[in-house]
């Protein structure tokens, strides 16, 4: 009975879930022990009957009672319908056949040659040498030298002539440049040696000789030499907060055969700064000239005079020009505008200070098809003996040096590109010059074979145009022309200045080795002024107020030059040139005939 009570209690606890695993195990051991003890008494037999509504249920063991099955879920899908949108009817085309493209396979670009020499020889014993050598490209800097020489025995006048027509021109230059982080420093030097013989043919003098010194002082030739050195500094910072500086200092020394000595000092500088979209700049400059020579005295217009000082002696001229030019530059869409003013100061002028406007406008129409431009400006140009020698090597040794005052210059025009092959320009310039220099055959210290420099005020209209055409790499041509109209205060003509001037030049590549070239220059009729009688004088009246002399008409001329070049390889070439092929004996300066046909040939070598 006791055992059964324990069993019933045990079952009840299990159903209520109030026994853990340890309690269950302890209870089972206890029941087993009780049953063991109860079986020892075999002599007692008992029976019991229980009544009640207790339902004994077995706890689910959590096992899966059936095998897994596949449940297929079907989804309903709508049918997709495709429709064609209405479009325009496409017209069938039959394109033309295009030829297969040709690819020009070229060799690898050869290394840049550091040296280049062109040398040749022509008739009239005319040697020519032009040599260049440089250090090549370098991120730190570079340097280079150049030597040039051209001379000739002349061939214009007979060998029996007292003064031959030979000439000589020699030049040498060297430069060195060093690159900084945002700037560069450059130094250079130049030397020029020029020999010009006074072979000009004139007749008997119209004016009596001053004295016997004329023959002695006129001489047979001029030997003019100059040497100069300059140094410059340029900064090019791209930072808008920085200001860029540019400065150049140049010194030039010249000396001639007849005691001419000239020193020219030139300093130029500028500063510019970008502020938003505008560039503000100021240009400063000063140029000073000291010229010493021997000769007679000339008045303010360059005319020989004996008043107060009629001796042939050493003389000195000093001249200086300083300038200040502030400006502002801006870009608005396709329009570029620069405005400013210029202040020039002369030390020897009756009005030392001069003021000039500055306005430049450029704009682009239709992506560069039309590029109109217009502007006004002015300035003072310092005159030097060296500048006169570059224009006319037969100038006298003691000319009067007056600065040219460009009182007003207005210009306008249009240029552009019609296509990648064609370009054009058409424009007009109007200038008002004060103290324009003119060369006239001299009668004061020469026999008419040297030129004095006289001055007059002049207005000049220049109408000009240019057209260029390039046909791939086969040929190219360029033509330009100028038409001039002059108006002067005292002189009837603008002496030695033509009304027409034109140039045609072109080149044709026969193949990669052969090239033909051509230049044709046309200079229209001009009038020269001489103080000597000349054959063929068209006007015997005085044509320049206060200046005795006569006008001589110089005919226009055509100077055609031809070139042939054969490129043997990238380093070696041969060439031949013919100058003045139509053999015209024209005159650039009154009394000085030019060589007829000059033929030269030579070679060019790169290394």
**Same domain, residue pair 367 and 228:** yes
Element (H, E) at 385: helix 385-391
Q: What is the DSSP string of 423-484?
A: EEEEEEEEEEEEEEEEEEE-SSSSSSSSEEEEEEEEEEEEEEEEEEEEETTTEEEEEEEEEE
Burial class (CB in 10 A: 0-12, 13-18, 19+), 583: exposed
Ranges under pLDDT 50 in the chain = 36-41, 204-213, 540
Give the residue from 412, 408, 411 showing the smallest Cα distance to 434: 408
pLDDT of residue 540: 47
Question: Is 50 contained in some domain?
Answer: no
pLDDT score at 84: 62
- Burial classification of residue 468, based on how many CB atoms lie within 10 Å of its CB (0-12 exposed, 13-18 middle, 19 or more buried): middle
Residues 34 and 151 in one domain: no
Closest CA to 551 of 566, 539, 562: 539
pLDDT of 241 reads 77
Q: Are residues 9 and 156 in the same domain?
A: no
DSSP assignment letter at 298: B
Q: Give the span between the Cα atoms of 245 and 259, in whole angstroms.
A: 40
Is the separation of the CB atoms in 160 and 181 below 8 Å? Answer: no
Helix axis angle, 21-39 to 2-16, nearest 10°: 160
- Structural domain harbouring 449: 116-606
Instruction: Give Dmax over CA atoms of the chain in angstroms.
Output: 192
Residues 143 and 7 both lie in one domain? no
Q: Are residues 387 and 494 in the same domain?
A: yes
Which of the 8 DSSP states describes residue 187?
A: E
Separation in Å, CA 471 to CA 55, 343, 504, 520: 117, 47, 16, 20
Distance, C-alpha 425 to centroid of its chain: 18
**Rounded Cα distance, 450 and 586, in Å:** 18
User: Quick one: 387 and 535 in the same domain?
Assistant: yes
Element (H, E) at 251: strand 243-255
The pLDDT of residue 354 is 93
Do residues 332 and 452 both lie within one domain? yes
Tell me the C-alpha distance between 529 and 554, whole Å.
Answer: 10
Residue 254 lies in a domain: yes
- Residue 241, CA distances (Å) to 272, 586, 588, 591 in order: 11, 59, 54, 61
DSSP 85: P
What is the domain-level CATH number for residue 208? 2.40.170.20
CB atoms within 10 A of CB 291: 22
Within a domain: 258: yes
Cβ–Cβ < 8 Å for 528, 555: no
Do 11 and 126 share a domain, yes or no? no
Token output for 137: 């490209």
Taking the complete model, does pTM exceed 0.85, yes or no?
A: no
pLDDT of residue 51: 62
Does residue 272 lie within any of the structural domains? yes
Strands 261-275, 514-523: parallel, antiparallel or unpaired by DSSP? unpaired
Residue 49 lies in a domain: no
Q: Based on the domain organization, do 34 and 140 belong to the same domain?
A: no
Query: What is the token pair recorded at 97?
Result: 């056949």
Q: Rounded CA gap, 476 and 470, in Å?
A: 4
Backbone angles phi, psi at 217, to 5 degrees: -85, -25
For 343, the token pair is 């202040």
CA angle (236 as vertex; 233, 239 as ends), nearest 5: 140
Q: Looking at the chain, how many residues does it have?
A: 607
| Residue 98: exposure state from Cβ atoms within 10 A (0-12, 13-18, ≥19) | exposed
3-state SS class at 88 = coil
Q: How many CB atoms lie within 10 A of CB 595?
A: 19
One domain, residues 270 and 140: yes
With respect to residue 78, please indicate whether it lies within any of the assigned structural domains. no
Identify whether residues 385 and 530 lie together within a single domain.
yes
Does residue 21 sit in the same domain as residue 148? no
Half-sphere exposure of 334 (CA within 13 A, CB side): 11
Classify residue 87: in a domain, yes or no: no
Count of domains in the chain?
2
Contact at 8 Å (CB) between 528 and 441?
Answer: yes
User: Would you say residue 85 lies in a domain?
Assistant: no
Bridge partner residues of 377 (DSSP): 409
Instruction: Tell me how far apart the alpha carbons of residues 372 and 362 are, in angstroms, rounded to a whole number.
Output: 6
176 vs 135: CA distance, rounded Å: 9
């Amino acid at each position: 009975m006791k055992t059964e009570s324990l069993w019933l209690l045990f079952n009840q606890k299990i159903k209520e879930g109030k026994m853990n695993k340890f309690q269950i195990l302890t209870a089972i051991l206890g029941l087993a022990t009780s049953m063991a003890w109860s079986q020892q008494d075999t002599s007692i037999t008992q029976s019991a009957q229980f009544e009640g509504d207790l339902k004994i249920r077995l706890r689910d063991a959590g096992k899966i009672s059936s095998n897994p099955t596949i449940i297929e879920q079907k989804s309903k899908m709508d049918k997709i319908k495709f429709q064609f949108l209405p479009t325009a009817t496409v017209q069938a085309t039959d394109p033309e056949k295009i030829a297969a493209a040709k690819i020009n396979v070229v060799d690898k670009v050869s290394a840049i040659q550091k040296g280049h020499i062109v040398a040749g020889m022509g008739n009239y014993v005319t040697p020519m040498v032009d040599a260049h050598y440089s250090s090549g490209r370098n991120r730190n800097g570079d340097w280079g030298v150049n030597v040039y020489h051209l001379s000739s025995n002349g061939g214009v006048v007979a060998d029996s002539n007292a003064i031959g027509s030979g000439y000589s021109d020699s030049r040498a230059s060297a430069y060195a440049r060093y690159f900084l982080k945002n700037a560069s420093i450059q130094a250079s030097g130049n030397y020029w040696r020029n020999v010009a013989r006074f072979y000009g043919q004139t007749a008997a003098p119209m004016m009596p000789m001053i004295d016997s010194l004329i023959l002695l002082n006129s001489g047979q030739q001029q030997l003019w030499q100059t040497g100069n050195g300059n140094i410059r500094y340029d900064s090019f910072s791209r930072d808008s907060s920085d200001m860029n500086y540019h400065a150049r200092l140049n010194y030039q020394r010249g000396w001639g055969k007849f005691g001419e000595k000239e020193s020219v000092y030139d300093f130029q500088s500028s500063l510019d700064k970008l502020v938003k979209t505008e560039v503000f700049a100021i240009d400063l400059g000063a140029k000073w000239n000291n010229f010493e020579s021997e000769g007679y005295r000339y008045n303010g217009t360059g005319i020989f005079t004996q008043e107060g000082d009629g001796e042939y002696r050493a003389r000195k001229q000093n001249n200086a020009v300083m300038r200040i030019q502030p400006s502002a530059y801006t870009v608005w869409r396709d329009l570029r505008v620069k405005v400013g003013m210029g202040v020039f100061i002369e030390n020897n002028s009756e009005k030392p200070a001069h003021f000039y406007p500055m306005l430049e406008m450029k704009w682009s129409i239709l992506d560069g098809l039309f590029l109109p431009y217009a502007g006004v400006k002015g300035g003072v140009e310092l005159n030097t003996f060296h500048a006169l020698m570059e224009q006319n090597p037969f100038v006298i040794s003691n000319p009067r040096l007056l600065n040219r005052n460009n009182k007003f210059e207005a210009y306008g025009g249009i240029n552009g590109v019609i296509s990648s092959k064609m370009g054009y320009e058409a424009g007009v310039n109007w200038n008002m010059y004060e103290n324009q220099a003119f060369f006239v055959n001299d009668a004061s210290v020469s026999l008419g074979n040297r030129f004095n420099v006289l001055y007059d005020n002049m207005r000049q209209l220049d109408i000009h145009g240019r057209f260029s055409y390039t046909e791939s790499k086969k040929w190219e041509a360029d033509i330009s022309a100028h038409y001039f109209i002059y108006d002067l205060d005292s002189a009837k003509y603008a002496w030695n200045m033509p009304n027409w001037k034109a140039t045609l030049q072109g080149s044709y590549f026969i193949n990669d080795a052969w090239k033909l070239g051509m230049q044709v220059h046309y200079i229209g009729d001009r009038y020269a002024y001489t103080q000597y009688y000349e054959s063929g004088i068209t006007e015997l009246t005085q044509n320049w107020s206060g200046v005795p002399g006569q006008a001589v008409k110089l005919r226009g001329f055509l100077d055609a030059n031809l070139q042939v070049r054969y490129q043997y390889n990238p380093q070696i070439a041969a060439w031949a040139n013919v100058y003045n092929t139509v053999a015209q004996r024209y005159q650039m300066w009154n009394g000085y005939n030019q060589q007829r046909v000059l033929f030269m040939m030579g070679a060019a070598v790169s290394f």
